[in-house]
């Protein structure tokens, strides 16, 4: 077995796991926020990840479609596992496109979550007491 293929499989498992964890984190933090309206950072980070993942996936699919890929998304999913209907070449290309889509979407989600989890410099200034006030 090709070691690169094993690495891709581990990466795809990680992508699916991270998305499932973030979805459950979003649901749990939304319930907590609805209950006591205290800390909303976890809610923002998980929502930003999922939104970034969706936007990154859609943008990369549009880029692939503009580059000349003729199949629809659902046909690409079907072709990635069906070499009898589609040729082996189309099946292989579909698999590669889906791997690329999932990695790009996850990278966009991670970037969005990283930027949403940072504190605003304006809120940090407002929380610090002024040296003149002391």
Residue 131: inside a domain: no
d(Cα 134, Cα 122) in Å, to the nearest integer?
Answer: 20
Residue 20 covered by a domain = no
CB atoms within 10 A of CB 33: 15
Residue 33 pLDDT > 70: yes
Q: What is the largest CA-CA distance in the chain?
A: 77
- pLDDT band of 126, cuts 50, 70, 90: very low
Residue 99 lies in a domain: yes
Residue 27 in any domain: the answer is no
Q: Domain containing 85: what range?
A: 41-117
The first and second tokens of residue 39, run together, are 């800390």
> Is 46 contained in some domain?
yes
pLDDT at 117 over 70: no
| pLDDT mean over 31-45 | 74
Phi-psi domain of 59 (left: phi exceeds 0; alpha: psi -120 through 50; beta: other): alpha
More confident position, 129 or 84: 84
Task: Indicate whether 109 belongs to any domain.
Answer: yes
- What was the pLDDT predicted at 128? 53
| Overall average pLDDT of the 87-103 stretch | 84
Residues 46 and 54: their CA atoms lie apart, in Å, by 12
pLDDT confidence tier of residue 4, bands split at 50, 70 and 90:
low
Is residue 80 in some structural domain? Answer: yes
Return mean pLDDT, the chain.
77
pLDDT at 133 over 60: no
- In the chain, the number of structural domains is 1
Answer yes or no: is 28 within a domain: no
**Residue 132 DSSP class:** T
């Amino acid at each position: 077995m090709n070691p690169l293929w094993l690495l891709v499989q581990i990466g795809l498992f990680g992508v699916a796991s991270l998305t499932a964890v973030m979805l459950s984190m979003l649901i749990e933090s939304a319930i907590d926020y609805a209950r006591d309206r205290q800390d909303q950072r976890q809610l923002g980070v998980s929502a930003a990840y999922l939104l970034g993942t969706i936007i990154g996936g859609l943008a990369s699919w549009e880029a692939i479609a503009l580059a000349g890929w003729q199949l629809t998304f659902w046909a690409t999913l079907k072709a990635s596992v069906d070499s009898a209907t589609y040729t082996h070449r189309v099946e292989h290309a579909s698999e590669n496109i889906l791997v690329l889509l999932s990695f790009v979407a996850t990278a966009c989600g991670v970037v969005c979550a990283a930027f949403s989890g940072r504190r605003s410099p304006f809120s940090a200034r407002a929380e610090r007491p002024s040296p003149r006030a002391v």
